[in-house]
Amino acid sequence: MTTHKIALILAGGASLGSYTAGVLTELLYALETLNARSNDQRFEIDVITGSSAGGLTGVLLTRIMLYDLHGRRRDLFHVWVREIDIKQLLDKGNIPPNALLSKRVIRRIAQQYVLNGVHQTATNPASFAPDDLRLSLTLSNMHGLDYAIPYDTPEGGSFVSTFYADMARFQLKPAALPNYHTWQTIVNAGIASGNFPIAFQPQSLPHDVSSALKEYQESPQASAAISRLLLDNMAFLDGGIFNNEPLREAIKRAGDLDGERSEHTRIFILIDPDVNRSAHNPSISADDPIEEHVKQLLTMIRGESMARDWMNVRRTNNELDWRNDMLTILIDMVRACPEEQGNELVKRLDALIASIMQVKRDTFPGRYPPEYEEHVLQRLSERPEYRETYEALLTHGGTSATLHRVMLDRLTFALNAIAGLQNKSTIQKLALIGSKPEETAGDQILSFGGFFNEAWREHDFRRGRIKAHEVLPDILAVAPYGREQDVDDYEIPDAWKHFPTANFEDTDRGTREQLCDILLQRSNEVLKRANVPWWIRWPAKQFYIRGQLRAFLKL
């Protein structure tokens, strides 16, 4: 039986998480249906990476898959459509002084839909649940982590660079499900991943530095400070600030599971409800007021977190194709090389490889064990992407075949090391499920608009499910399958068809007034902490800030 492994990448999108929930609800139904009807192939989700709202959804999806698919499949709908709402986010009694919204409803949802019952035995895990699941959630570390990056000078040395993009990684196995404490850590990481800046108070989270950035050595100067932080907690913001589509992380975790032999049946699915929206601003100018420049700066920072991994994967695929073309040229060169010159070339290549690996070991201490080169050289011909190359080289046999293989081993190793392509394989199947701007209703005010209207969220949920039902047969390479019975998810009522063009003033006015009051209060507190005298604060708040907020909130 062929197992098609799936890696899911769940992008952020605030209230557009309802769209992602619709896509996932259809995916869960499709995989269970397809696994039940086929005896020669099955599907398995073994990697989930999530950012921001996608991080929270990834935690919920993991809980559903590993414990009770039949009883919990509608949890995605209930959480993203029925439960999360701006009125609960504006719970005045639970809004910290350094935030605009309360996380109380998010914690209640996490308790009800994730933590409750985790001590019980899994009753009905999904047929597509794996033996080993990797879950990664993007984070933005407010402290920053310092790393010493070596540079080449006669006297050696390094410079310190601070990284803020971070990651929480978990490994879950159905044979030994996490205990309540571990699930609490997973939940807190999910909340931290969705901690939209300013809207929510930063999330404290115990964090193992070793799970963050492994490419470089921890800076000695930072060790003591980091150790003190780890005794307490580190503060985190929304992971989508720096990485809203953690595709690269999904590829790495899939590589951990697939090992040396790349899985050519693996499918990567990126779900991003916000992917087809241009942020191009033709009207910005150097003469605009400072507040317009600040607003555009935030848009620029957010835009840099979008689609970068997607573009990098396409570039790497191209580089791998060029590498393979180069290897076919090298085969002719190896065959034409006399034995004496071939032996000399092997010596020179061995010296080059030793030099390359010495630099890598100096730069990345502990990553490359002493036997690394020998292990890689022995396994090259076994990897699927090289098999045809080696077969073409060795077809003639003869006494020179062994030397030819040794030469090709070293040429391939050196080429990969120089180009940074070692342990990389072509991504055969990379699919995107996203929406167009004119399809969803919750896009307004940084995609928070859906929180103001439950019908908008259900509309976007249905849009996501309809889209997934249309495209999944092509993505999974299967025949079309029927819709789930006894649900209304595949229809958009006529009364809802104008939702994507609805205006923010169509939402509850009282709720917008409440949000305006909170924003006014916070702005006054900021001015007060900045030692702005009251006789400036009061008119600024009453005549300028209030007017700007009311215009923004359509009041």
Amino acid at 302: R
pLDDT-derived band at 307 (thresholds 50, 70, 90) equals low
Give me the pLDDT at residue 323, please. 82
Q: Burial-class residue 506 by CB neighbours within 10 Å (0-12, 13-18, 19+).
A: middle
**What is the pTM (predicted TM-score) of this model?**
0.85
Cα 309–Cα 315–Cα 319 angle in degrees, nearest 5: 140
Separation CA 50–CA 348 (nearest Å): 45
Q: Work out the number of other CB atoms within 10 angstroms of the CB of residue 157.
A: 10
Greatest mean pLDDT range, 109-123, 389-403, 425-439: 109-123
Lowest-confidence region among 204-218, 313-327, 348-362, 387-401 = 204-218
Q: Burial-class residue 395 by CB neighbours within 10 Å (0-12, 13-18, 19+).
A: exposed
Separation CA 414–CA 81 (nearest Å): 53
| Contact predicate 107/156, CB 8 Å | no
Give mean pLDDT, residues 483-488.
Answer: 94
pLDDT-derived band at 318 (thresholds 50, 70, 90) equals confident
Of residues 43 and 380, more confidence is placed in 43
- H helix and E strand count, the chain: 20, 9
Query: Is 66 a residue whose pLDDT tops 90?
Result: yes
Helix, strand, coil percentages, rounded to 5, for the chain: 55, 15, 30
| Contact predicate 77/40, CB 8 Å | no
DSSP helix/strand/coil, 48: strand
Amino acid at 537: R
Torsion angles phi and psi, residue 170, rounded to 5: -135, 145
